[in-house]
Amino acid sequence: MILHALTFYLFAAIAVAAGFMVISSRNPVHSVLYLILAFFTSAALFVLMAAEFLAMIMLIVYIGAVAVLFLFVVMMLDINFVELRKGFLQYLPIGALIGVILAIELIFIVGTWTFGGDTTLVAATAQPMVIEGGNTEAIGRVLYTDYVYAFQAAGIILLVAMIGAIVLTHRSRPGVKKQNITEQVHRSPTEAVELRDIPPGQGI
């Protein structure tokens, strides 16, 4: 138990420090790298809580897709962050007010967790629930038995949304050249190549 607690506090401290560096780093690339570190440590915390499915999702979805997408967007786009930060002081009072509200809520939560009667007992005796066959297998059984129709309906909705996004993106617009694969496949060599006799000293 001591090793488990020390590992938890180590990963928790790294996650908090990485989250602070995400918002305090001046270089946006460094911010994304600290975000990836925060995701890694969060996945490690999920593993300590015997929630390996959530840890896998954290690694595959958030690090493998979202964070890498952020990194490529920041590195490939020429974003002028100086222009983006010009209105920082304008929104500072609203941000400070929201920060104070969140701090008060956290104080109430920590106070209830620390001084509450039943809450401390539950927190002290709480242990990770280990399921036979693993966390992933248990979630798969529930999804494909009790909620199979809702799961398939969600998949159909996502498929329709993806098709709609593709159709909206590839709609016909004037002045935009597109490939016509059918015409390219069925054209003859005489149509593909055109020979012209250009007089000397003149262009096409």
- pLDDT tier, 156 (very low <50, low <70, confident <90, very high otherwise): very high
CB 46 within 8 A of CB 55: yes
Task: Provide DSSP, 154-204.
Answer: HHHHHHHHHHHHHHHHT---TT-----HHHHHH--HHHH-----PPTT---
Q: What sign does the CA torsion over 50, 56, 58, 63 have?
A: positive
**In this model, does residue 127 exceed pLDDT 80?**
no
Does the structure show a pLDDT above 50 at 6? yes
pLDDT at 122: 47
**Lowest mean pLDDT segment, chosen from 30-34, 121-125, 127-131, 142-146:** 121-125
pLDDT score of 159: 93
* pLDDT exceeds cutoff 70 at 112: no
Q: Which burial class, exposed, middle or buried, applies to 35 when counting CB atoms under 10 A from its CB (0-12, 13-18, 19+)?
A: buried
> What is the residue extent of each domain of the chain?
1-83, 87-130, 132-173
CATH architecture under which domain 1-83 falls? Up-down Bundle (1.20)
Categorise residue 30: left if φ over 0, alpha if ψ from -120 to 50, beta otherwise. Answer: alpha
Whether 20 shows a pLDDT value over 80: the answer reads: yes
Assess whether pLDDT exceeds 90 at residue 200.
no
Residue 59 in this model has a pLDDT that exceeds 80: yes
What average pLDDT does range 176-193 have in this prediction?
79
Contacts of 75 (CB under 8 A, 6+ apart): 29
For position 153, what pLDDT does the model report?
93
